[in-house]
Chains A and B, each alone.
Chain A
């Protein structure tokens, strides 16, 4: 620990103490399982908005996005960030109906539109794996970052971060998570604005930064990276990230936690506007980082090292402390929300399906136990993550979008759609999307996401029409039975 920066380390420790104090205070408001799961369905617009913002921006996206801009320029805006932002706005336009359905989780929604409760543990299993992998990767990225910034060895940081977010998520559920997110979201956005402001002044203005960034490589300021990205790849990446907004468990849980449709709409409308500006600033900060480091002879080989290098070697200590707090906020706000979501997936979507008559107190204990166990397991794996986890993590967006986006959201509006067709489309999308990703990311020239979504759409329509005669026969039999009872 000899290389530890005392100022950054002190900021880190004080921040953790502050969060734990907020979490303990908030946990006293958690009285039952509905409070733990969905804030008692009374979350207001400000808390919901900042909870979404704080969760949305992860440490991996801060370090990864600035690193991607450092190495490849602004083309990230053309696919990934555009997909994410249009996804938030798209969810705004369907959230009224989703909130009115009053489902608590995404598997609840799948069960609702398919008319099959068995879909809850099935969809829950996919989301559990996806959420847990995401958690492991967040912990790995976050711990590497904090290690680089504070100088504390990786194996200690993993457990410190792991235990902090496990404890406060387990004691207060979504109540603790949301209140800490409020603080974290504000700090995170403020940190990026202050840091970019400093860099703009330091480097002579935004126009100067972009001009120098373009001089480093003209492809850095080209929407397609100077032709490195083909339009099918841009389209598939866009679609994959767009779809994850609709299919992530934590997004549905937060919608369920809002107190009414108005709040659900406000939190997505406000978050979309704030996040789109935030990401534009973050990408510009990535450009400024490249200009600053390369211009001062501090260029790095590994793009992911760019942002930590900026913090530790380029900016003054006071800006560094602000950025450390921003990074800490990004880390903990995402990991706590994901951990809460996977704990709820286990208790709500899986355990309560197989044990439907257990009491609320029992479900609360199961939720807390799942939160602690899955959190500890993720932390242990993050100590030395096997390569397969990293590979599986890359499949996440393709799998969720291919399997769930079209079948579930079309079924919400097309109420006459046969539930069996929806289930068949989910399975087809998952198998084809995942298969294409395993086969190298595409089938021929068609990217995996297009393959998966295409298979889901095709099977949805074919199965619906094929099951039409059977559906009419079942309806006629049900009508005859009702007439017989009435007679």
Chain B
């Protein structure tokens, strides 16, 4: 079997690459479009308020990370 003139193993590599790149799109379509799951714009509790702790430079910067 030689799909598109390629050995099956090489053809499968092409198919796997396209599938690998499309995993995000497949997930988005199923989870966020079909199942309408929310995106959750809030940070999980364990990560809230964990900005750099040593000297507050990021918060003091005019264009700091927390905007």
Contact = CB atoms under 8 A, between A and B. Distances in A.
A126 interface: no
A341 B58 CA distance: 19
B60 A356 contact: yes
B4 A88 contact: no
B25 A273 contact: yes
Interface string A88-99: 110011001100
A477 to B, nearest CB: 15
Nearest to A210: B5
A315 interface: no
A89 B21 contact: yes
A385 interface: no
B52 A112 contact: yes
Given A115-B53, A118-B54, A214-B5, A352 B22 contact: no
A272 B22 contact: yes
Contact of B7 (A206, A221, A280): A221
Contact of B43 (A88, A101, A207, A359): A101
B24 A34 contact: no
Contacts of A103: 65
Contacts, number: 167
B10 A221 contact: yes
Contact of B23 (A262, A272, A275): A272
A265 B62 contact: no
A120 B64 CA distance: 12
A88 B27 CA distance: 13
A159 B52 CA distance: 41
A209 interface: yes
Nearest to B53: A115
A96 B24 CA distance: 12
Residue among B9, B62, B66 with most chain A CB within 10 A: B62
B49 to A, nearest CB: 11
A262 B28 CA distance: 10
A270 interface: yes
B28 A265 contact: yes
Interface residues of B, number: 45
Contacts of A217: none
A97 B23 CA distance: 18
Contact of B24 (A211, A214, A268, A359): A268
A111 interface: yes
A272 B27 CA distance: 12
Residue among A82, A86, A261, A272 with most chain B CB within 10 A: A272
Contact of A261 (B41, B51, B52): B41
B1 interface: no
B23 A210 contact: no
B66 A102 contact: yes
Contacts of B4: 206-207, 210
B34 interface: no
Interface of A: 33-34, 37, 41, 74, 77-78, 81-82, 85-86, 88-89, 92-93, 96-97, 100-104, 108, 111-112, 115-118, 120, 206-211, 213-214, 221-223, 260-262, 265-266, 268-270, 272-273, 275-277, 279-280, 283, 348, 352-353, 356-360, 363, 412, 415
Given A74-B13, A221-B6, 5 more contacts: A81-B17, A82-B16, A103-B65, A280-B14, A353-B57
